[in-house]
Amino acid sequence: MTGTLPYARVLAAVAALLTFVVLPSSPAPALAGPQTPASYTNPLAERRADAQIHRHTDGYYYFTATVPEYDRIVLRRATTLQGLSTAPETVIWTKHATGEMGAHIWAPEIHFIDGKWYVYFAAGRSDDIWKIRMYVLESSAANPLTGGWTEKGRIATPMDSFALDATTFVVGGIRYLSWAQKDPAVATNSNVYLARMANPWTLSGTPTRLTVPTYPWETAGFKVNEGPALIEHAGKVFLSYSAAATDSNYCLGLLSASASGDLLDPAAWTKSPTPVFTTNTATGQYGPGHNSFTTSEDGRSDVLVYHDRGYKDITGDPLDDPNRRTRIQKLYWNTDGTPNFGIPVADGAAPHRLASVNHPDHHVRHRQFRGRLDPDVTNLADSQFRTVPGLAGNGTVSLESANFPGSYLRERNGEVVLEKNDGSAAFKSSATFRPRTGLTDTAGVSYESYGAPGRFLRHRDFLLYVEPVATTSAEADATFRLE
Return the active site residues: 50, 226
Q: What is the DSSP string of 2-36?
A: GGGS-HHHHHHHHHHHT--------S----SSPPP
Three-state secondary structure readout of 332-363: EECCCCCEECCCCCCCEECCECEEECCCCCEE
Distance, CA of 308 to CA of 15 (rounded, Å): 29
Strand pairing partners for 330? 303
Three-state secondary structure readout of 414-475: CEEEEEECCCCHHHHHHCCEEEEECCCCCCCEEEEECCCCCEEEEEECCEEEEEECCCHHHH
Q: How many CA atoms lie within 13 A of 419 on its CB side?
A: 16
Strand pairing partners for 399? 387
Q: Which of 34, 14, 8, 9 is nearest to 435 (CA)?
A: 14
Distance, CA of 458 to CA of 416 (rounded, Å): 9
Residue 477, H or E segment: helix 472-477
Single-letter residue type at 189: N
* Region of residue 244 (phi > 0: left; psi between -120 and 50: alpha; otherwise: beta): left
Distance, CA of 424 to CA of 391 (rounded, Å): 10
* Region of residue 173 (phi > 0: left; psi between -120 and 50: alpha; otherwise: beta): left
